[in-house]
Amino acid sequence: MARRSDEVKKGVVRAPHRSLLKANGLTDEEISRPFIGIVSSANDIIPGHIHLDKIAEAVKTGVCLAGGTPLQFSTIGICDGIAMNHPGMKYSLPSREIIADSVELAVEAHRFDALVFIPNCDKIIPGMLMAAARINIPAIFVSGGPMLTGRYQGKEIDLISVFEAVGAVGAGKMTENELNKFESYACPSCGSCAGMFTANTMNCLTEAIGMGLPGNGTIPAPYSERIRLAKQAGMAIMNLLEKNITPDKILTKEAFRNALAVDMALGGSTNTVLHLAAIAHEAGVDFNLDMVDKISLSTPNLCKISPAGKHHLEDLYRAGGIMAVMAELNKGGHLDTSVLTATGKTLADNLKGIEAFDKEVIRPLDNPYSRTGGLAILFGNLAPDGAVVKQSAVAENMLVHSGPARVFDSEPEATDAILGGKINPGDVVVIRYEGPKGGPGMREMLTPTSALAGMGLDDKVALITDGRFSGGTRGAAIGHVSPEAQEGGPIASVREGDVIEIDIPNRKLNVRLSDNEIKGRLRDWRAPELKIKKGYLALYARMVSSAAKGAIIE
């Protein structure tokens, strides 16, 4: 059977190519086998990636066991936690497109037959999924796995505990010495941060959508089981290659709907809406915010993982993981189990005999945390194209709220006001010009939301933005407001003291102004100059779409 890699190694005319391959130490036997690209984002700066070299070695072992020749190359990666709350965060979301593009370039240039992707953190996972959909050769994912939960004085803590502790210090509720102990114990191992933040949500959804083997989302990073999973992924890719199971046969509309249902059951990060939209775009699958909200309205929230609750990824792993969540959802007909998966089998086959081990970590359908999903899409005169909120992490008293707007044209301005004690109970903090174009880069805003939580204001103050939030954000934090301020969206018309009305159960987000008043204000509005005028971000700002479309490059 002809293979893509034959184009770089077969026939007399490819003798120079084989010469170069032999320079790498490859034997004739290895050259004759299928070339399997091992796409790893291992590096020394991201805690979720410092061990990916070991995962890659295990994958290579699996590929060799099954008769392939593994050849590794790398992508960039950005740690959102380290990039948070300074200009570096502007580069995080845009890195997703660079990752997808770089994989495409390397794969198409070297004509790999199939791919094993090894990501672990926020933008790397969707960037690689976008690449897999775009290139459309057999592919499978095996992540580095979640970090173990930190413990301090008998209490479970994680990275978000440290962010919130900063607010507690600012409010005089914690000393700097206590903060130092918190930061030393919160992140005890390699892996993606221990809660249902963006990285772990995306790893779980990679499993749910069918591109990763069972266990991909929840087996803890330091466990030997993770190494065994990597070997199994290396062997599984050879099966996918033999059967010619390509991503377009897995990434169907039904698979995306399954992933959304799991997302709602988990109460995942709001960022998944951006990422699933971008992946669907590459896969040629229709995806819109109305579909997201319809699935949310019909899917129960079965899990309360940090920041929404006390559980962590370790607990979800022990309870049976994503397959157990899907088995429970399937009892209510919330999934299409006819879809094909990376196991080479259907989801129905994968779910046979699966049950949840802990009915508190994974609630049964007849006793959910709520009857609707963890995310909600809001519309109104402030967000005509939509906005996103993690409703499972909102205090009940804040699900419906109205209050005066406190308007800031950047995240640092808002953070200074919050930490300076200038925000009052009942206020609605508005942070604008932080969208895909306005930021540019649509940076996450974990610092202001965590500061509010640490100061005890997360159940008293709302925050809305055309930027986005970390998966670790909790409280009435509404992001992705579209159209963004930089494009003349209604959020650009809001003034200090305007009354903002939030009604999450009824999916409404409005400013108490007439349409004529909003239009009049916008007639006098002029778009500010882009904040960055050279380099990649300047190009990105000129080409990026609305958050409602996934902040894709158009």
Kindly list the catalytic residues.
470
Closest CA relative to residue 547, chosen from 463, 471, 435, 470: 435
Cα separation, 520 vs 108, whole angstroms: 51
Cα separation, 129 vs 204, whole angstroms: 13
Count CA within 13 A, CB hemisphere, residue 301: 20
SS3 string, 349-413, reads HHCCCCCCCCCCCCCCCCCCCECCCCEEEEEECCEEEEEEEEHHHCCHHHCEEEEEEEEECCHHH
User: By three-state DSSP, how is residue 69 classified?
Assistant: strand
What is the distance between the terminal CA atoms of the chain, rounded to a whole angstrom?
Answer: 37
Sort strands 139-141 and 383-390 into parallel, antiparallel or unpaired. unpaired
Cα separation, 289 vs 340, whole angstroms: 25
As a whole number of Å, the CA-based R_g of the chain is 23
DSSP letter string over 481-493? Answer: EES-GGGT-GGGG
Cα separation, 309 vs 352, whole angstroms: 29
Closest CA relative to residue 143, chosen from 233, 264, 252: 233
State whether the Cα torsion 130-449-416-547 is positive or negative.
positive
Quick count: other Cβ atoms within 10 Å of Cβ 407?
Answer: 18
Answer for the pair 319, 361: CB distance below 8 angstroms, yes or no: yes
Quick count: other Cβ atoms within 10 Å of Cβ 130?
Answer: 26
Cα separation, 47 vs 50, whole angstroms: 6
